[in-house]
């Protein structure tokens, strides 16, 4: 790699001897997350110090079977946030969907599911519950899948043999 190619890079990785040793130890010993090991290998390959290899992003991506964007983001995190931050996974709170049912909504759904079903029906179905929670303004919208997951989480289904209030009885030997 020539000096001109290195100067084009916006985020240049220069690791100290101590950081290189820490990355090598991380890779060689113990059990670590695959994502963390990948980032450690990326940083070692991207290092342009005397002990480093100074590979390009595309070389690193093809050698480690990852994408060029992963390599670029790892470089960027090292330069902007530091050594420790570059190895850890950053969870974005914006990536998680907001919950449809809060605690009050779950309680109302559970009360509705335990109440008598509408006329003409023997029991509540997920579709019936779906329309009922919207009509009663418990939530703006909810799918039958969401209703089912919420009811399963509460573990108080009327069809459940054990709702958590007592232990299951052992089956007598035959």
Question: Would you list the DSSP string of 133-151?
Answer: HHHTTS-S---HHHHHHHH
pLDDT range class, residue 10, cuts 50, 70, 90: confident
- Can you list the pairs that 81-88 forms with residues at least 24 positions away whose Cβ atoms lie under 8 Å? 83/15, 83/19, 86/39, 86/43, 87/26, 87/36, 87/39, 87/40, 87/43, 88/36
Give the Cα separation of 74 and 44 in Å (integer).
11
β-bridge mates for residue 47, sequence order: 13
Give the Cα separation of 100 and 150 in Å (integer).
10
3-class DSSP assignment, residue 166? coil
Give the Cα separation of 29 and 95 in Å (integer).
32
Give strand ranges (E) for the chain.
none
pLDDT tens for each residue of 62-89: 999 999 999 999 999 999 999 998 888 7
pLDDT tens for each residue of 111-161: 999 999 999 999 999 999 999 999 999 999 999 899 998 888 765 555 455
Per DSSP, 78 falls in state H
Does position 61 have pLDDT exceeding 70, yes or no?
yes
Does position 164 have pLDDT exceeding 60, yes or no?
no
Q: Output the CA torsion sign for 117, 127, 97, 39.
A: positive
């Amino acid at each position: 790699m020539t000096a001109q190619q290195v100067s084009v890079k916006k985020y240049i990785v220069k690791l100290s001897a101590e950081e290189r040793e820490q990355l090598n130890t991380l890779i060689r010993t113990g059990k670590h997350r695959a994502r963390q090991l990948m980032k450690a290998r990326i940083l070692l390959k991207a290092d342009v110090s005397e002990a480093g290899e100074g590979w390009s992003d595309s070389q690193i991506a093809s050698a480690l079977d990852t994408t060029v964007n992963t390599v670029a983001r790892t470089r960027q995190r090292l330069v902007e946030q530091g050594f420790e931050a570059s190895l850890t996974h950053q969870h974005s709170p914006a990536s998680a969907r907001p919950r449809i049912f809060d605690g009050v909504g779950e309680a109302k759904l559970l009360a509705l599911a335990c109440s008598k079903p509408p006329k003409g029906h023997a029991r509540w179905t997920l579709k019936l519950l779906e329309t009922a929670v919207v009509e009663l303004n418990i939530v703006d919208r909810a799918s039958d899948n969401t209703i089912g997951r919420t009811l399963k989480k509460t573990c108080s289904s009327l069809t459940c043999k054990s709702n958590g209030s007592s232990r299951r009885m052992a089956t007598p030997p035959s």
